[in-house]
Structure 1
Amino acid sequence: MKIALITDLHFGGKNDNISFSAFQSRFYEETFFPILEKEKVTTIIDLGDTFDRRKYTNFNTLKLAKEMFFTPIYERGMDLHVLLGNHDCYFKSTNDVNSMSLTCGEYPIHLYKDMPEVVDFDGLKILMTPWIAPDKYAESLRIISRAKADFLMGHLPLQGAEMLDNVYCDDGIERKHFKRFERVFSGHFHKQQDDGHVRYLGAPYEITWHDYNSKKGFHILDTETRELEFYQNPNRLFKKIYYDDGQSDEMLNYDITPYEGCYVKIFVIQKSDFYTFDRFIDRCYNDGNFYELKIVEDFSDLDPNNIADQSMEDVEDTMTLLDRYVEEIDSVAINKNKLKRILKNLYVEASEVE
């Protein structure tokens, strides 16, 4: 038996952006369903964060989600299993009020919304574990410690997992609770990562600039061989152009058609001919058909010839600066470790909003 694994679909992402919905739809229409049909896959497991907004669902987003994902599944006679993710739940303390239960009742979805549950997939027993909310935390860990299952699939914020590039989760669930399982597959963090035991499957497509140039797609699990195969999404949403008018003719004739339907950043490396630059930017705005265009320029201070080696060594990333700022606060009344965790969570949340 082959099972498709997909996670962090985030319907309604980027503030219910219609262009982003079109990008999502292209993946399902051109990549996801054609591969499932070719591989004769009839069972799908969605590991959470099906919808993006916790507080409400935009009606048009709901309509589009049903047209691109839910309805095609059931028109093909496929079986859909869904774990709740944190984005699917209204409250942070409980999963009781959730978007999946309230908006997709017309579909015969196998929804796992409260407690971990063992399901037998053609002889492979999998512990299906939805987002572990505080009100079910102790009981969920008790089930995890005793369940008779080979694999665990969940939506897990595990300690040590990479949330964004070089930003790690340090206040999540300890990994020791999951050592008893042969393999653990999880949603939640969008970057693919695998330590040989726990594999974060990653989002099926780029959602923010943090996803730039990283592999996105979905997986197919063979329950007989227990092998997992990754299928990459060929489409990219975020692209960069490096402008250098030291090659004036090349820039004026630069092919911008591959950037159509994308979020584009133009990094200005050299701009000595303002007329050529203006013509190029005008062409991007008028003919590019980009979803969004941002121009990043003035790198004069970052010219390697103008920067001493010591200066480069002193450059710090955002989280390092925040940690250093907290450490320098002269107050015994502040729990600095707690403040650092709060700042890190805010940074991660802010990074997901564009």
Structure 2
Amino acid sequence: MSHQLTLDQIRRAPKVLLHDHLDGGLRPETIVELAAATGYTGLPADDPEALGAWFAEAADSGSLERYLETFGHTVAVMQTRESLVRVAAECAEDLAADGIVYAEVRYAPEQHLEAGLSLEEVVEAVLEGFRVGQDRAAAQGRSIRVGTLLTAMRHAARSREIAELAVRYRDVGVVGFDIAGAEAGHPPTRHLDAFEYLRRENAHFTIHAGEAFGLPSIWEALQWCGAGRLGHGVRIVDDIEAARGADEASGTVRMGRLANYVRDKRVPLEMCPSSNVQTGAAVSIAEHPIGLLRRLRFRVTVNTDNRLQSGTALSEEFAKLVEAFGYDWDDLQWFTVNAMKSAFLPFDERLALINGQIKPGFAQLKWATD
């Protein structure tokens, strides 16, 4: 292929998304309308366009803590059953419009109880919203399947309760568990009871680790807690020594024991390039560790994290990587198959999506652009 892939071409590719926050993907106009409907008066702007710009600017600070502050406004308008159904439905529609065929979207049920909903009512509202959104997408000729991850906040004390909730609803759309929030000062080992319970129940879970904190966070998530995937995991490069532009064959890459373990065990890394730049976990897209990790064949996946705050979509994340690293269809397919292999779905269902939609879809696109 002699030309660089365009954003429009990438949108047509069948993609897989593993790391996307429900409260980080609202449409600005929806926030404004829900604020008016629920009486929330704390928005920094009442015009959707101005509000969207505010979120992008506030999130683009280089600080994870400042980035997380923006969620106060989105969570504030997601406190009723109706708002949760609407937000989840629109999420599924927006992801389908971006060419995503399978997504795992996460949220923290404990953050949506201020108007009197129970944890169970929150989960059921979100599941209903995703069903509505999937049906709407199908009516428009777009096929998408959305699974949910229930997130516990690492600074709170409800992780065991949320883990039990994830197991209770795992046969009706909840595919796994997660912990999130500021890493520093809140190690994942504080939630060992939840992780031990999940392992006893044969349940899947991922852990936000290696984003704003380094190798100790990754080590604890894997070796103490037993995480199946790493949310971000970008700081694994702290255990890799490489000259700029080096590749493994040149002999100039040296990996420590943890990095070798992560690669050897094929631990999936849920990387979110734009978000990592915003929070200071990476200097720029061009200098993002994803380039080195892809060359070293770690189990890298590409994700959005928070589409509103980062002003992005998965197709746009891929387009930025294409521009920075010269990736082609084979590279994008490699990332996508990595993600589908790493999804919290039964093996046969993952294989069916890979062989039935992903590989045929990329083959058609490669044929059309050769």
Give the TM-score of the pair, scaled to structure 2. 0.32
Question: Which structure shows the bigger proportion of residues in helix conformation?
Answer: 2
**Structure number with larger C-alpha Rg:** 1
Which structure is higher in RCO with an 8 Å CA cutoff and minimum separation 6? 2
Question: Which structure shows the bigger proportion of residues in strand conformation?
Answer: 1
